[in-house]
Amino acid sequence: MTRVSLSFDNGPDPQVTPFVLDTLAERGIRSTFFVVGERAAEPGAMALVERAHVEGHWIGNHTWTHSVPLGRRTEPDSADAEIGRTQKLVAPVAQHPALFRPFGGGGILNQDLLSEDALRLLCAGGFTCVLWNAIPRDWADPDGWADTALAQIASQPWSLVVLHDLPTGAMRHLPAFLDTLAARGYEIRQDFPPDCLPIVGGTVVRPIDGYVTRH
């Protein structure tokens, strides 16, 4: 059985997030939204995050500014400013244990993802760190990403797919993509493949050195 977990990053967006939520609700699919703090702090935006929560989606933290990967930052408070600040904002609707997805700068899994301070904060705060294993680059290929995603999904037993509820035009293909997953008999799940979770509930459970810059 091929399994698929879906995640939507970088939102909320006032136009695209409601469309994604409608599309998922019509099909009874639950997913995870990794929100960017400064987007969620815009007027009216938290209502979209609350809607996602009420409709059964999990809400995770995807940094405050989504600007410079944490491993490339040198300011002493950057982990709290990026992770802690966002978690405070989404706390009323956030999943437990708290879910954090680092910003990867193009989706690349490497040592830029986390700093030592960020790693300490995630462990002390009891976070689960949620990486990914399927990134069809919907932002760069708004009309071709679904075929890329389908090929990635077919190549492994359980895919955690990163998509973006952003106004790139890519999400207009979401309904057909989801219908293809259903037609192929894939199992769509809300939980995550264990291989994508190096930290669970604040405990490092898989090798983490490849994701942390140590100065």
Residues forming the active site: 9, 164
Residues 96-115 that bind Zn ion (CB under 5 A): 103
Question: Does residue 10 interact with Zn ion by CB under 5 A?
Answer: yes
SS3 content of the chain, % helix, strand, coil (to 5): 40, 20, 45
Asked whether the beta carbons of 39 and 195 are under 8 A apart, the reply is no
DSSP secondary structure letters along 142-176: TTTHHHHHHHHHHTSSEEEEEEE-STTSGGGGHHH
Please tell me the count of residues contacting Zn ion according to CB under 5 A.
3
- Cβ of residue 49: shortest distance to Zn ion, in angstroms? 15
- Cβ of residue 35: shortest distance to Zn ion, in angstroms? 10
Nearest residue relative to Zn ion (C-beta): 9
- Cβ of residue 100: shortest distance to Zn ion, in angstroms? 12
Give the distance, in angstroms, between the CA of residue 210 and the centroid of all CA atoms in the same chain. 19
Instruction: Give the pair of three-digit tokens for residue 56.
Output: 């059964």
* Beta bridge pairs of residue 129: 100, 199
Question: Residue 101 or residue 186: which is nearer to Zn ion going by CB?
Answer: 101
Question: Residue 34 or residue 186: which is nearer to Zn ion going by CB?
Answer: 34
Question: Does residue 138 interact with Zn ion by CB under 5 A?
Answer: no
| Site for Zn ion, rule CB under 5 A | 9-10, 103
